[in-house]
Amino acid sequence: MIALIQRVTQGRVTVDGATVGAIGPGLLALICAERNDAEPQADALLDKLLLYRVFADDEGRMNRSLRDVAGELLLVPQFTLAAETSSGTRPSFTPAAAADVGRHLFEHFVAQARERYPRVEAGRFGAHMQVELINDGPVTFWLQVRPRLEAAA
């Protein structure tokens, strides 16, 4: 699973002109499921995201997490994060999870986030969305959790 997280002062997602999610200061996270991902990867990525220290402490160091600052969280599905771009001039999306798996894992991610954190908004899987944000810093990080390979017998 992949999350591209951005520290924001505000963020908003609209679909067909209607706002489906909006936050104030916090994190906007673009979320992508890759082939072979399952709920354990989604859960591990959420753990990391909620505890990742990207907010400044009193000395200006990035030592505070979303939880520490009581920020808001906006989750946006974005399968294009899994694009293979190493050759040619057109991306390949074969590394991305199939749409039904991607939808399930995104919905699982959102549900788990809402159980574990009080301020969660989300975009809509499969919809054409407009995403607005004001990146604070700018601060942007790529987080990735991959399935563990089973040891050979």
pTM: 0.94
Q: Record the tokens describing residue 36, joined without a space.
A: 């072979």
pLDDT at 82 > cutoff 80: yes
E strand segments, 16-128: 18-23, 26-32, 55-56, 62-64, 72-77, 120-122
pLDDT at 129 > cutoff 80: yes
Q: Record the tokens describing residue 102, joined without a space.
A: 């991607």
Active site residue 80: yes
Is 140 inside any structural domain?
yes
Separation of alpha carbons 148 and 55, rounded Å: 30
What confidence score (pLDDT) does residue 147 get? 84
For 52-66, the pLDDT digits (tens) are 999 999 999 999 999
Domain extent for 38: 1-11+20-86+134-145
CATH code where residue 47 lies: 3.50.80.10
Is 112 inside any structural domain?
no
Is 127 inside any structural domain?
no
Is 48 inside any structural domain?
yes
Count of structural domains, the chain: 1
What confidence score (pLDDT) does residue 111 get? 98
Q: Nearest-CA neighbor of 128 among 20, 22, 7, 48?
A: 20
> Exactly one of 79, 106, 109, 125 is catalytic; which is it?
79
Active site residue 89: no
Residue identified by tokens 């999610």 is 21
> Exactly one of 19, 80, 85, 130 is catalytic; which is it?
80
Element (H, E) at 138: strand 129-144
Is 152 inside any structural domain?
no
DSSP 24-53: SSEEEEEEE-BTT--HHHHHHHHHHHHH--
Is 104 inside any structural domain?
no
Active site residue 78: yes
pLDDT at 74 > cutoff 80: yes
> Exactly one of 14, 41, 78, 112 is catalytic; which is it?
78
Q: Nearest-CA neighbor of 145 among 17, 3, 10?
A: 3
Is 97 inside any structural domain?
no
Cα 81 to chain centroid distance, Å, stands at 10
Is 99 inside any structural domain?
no
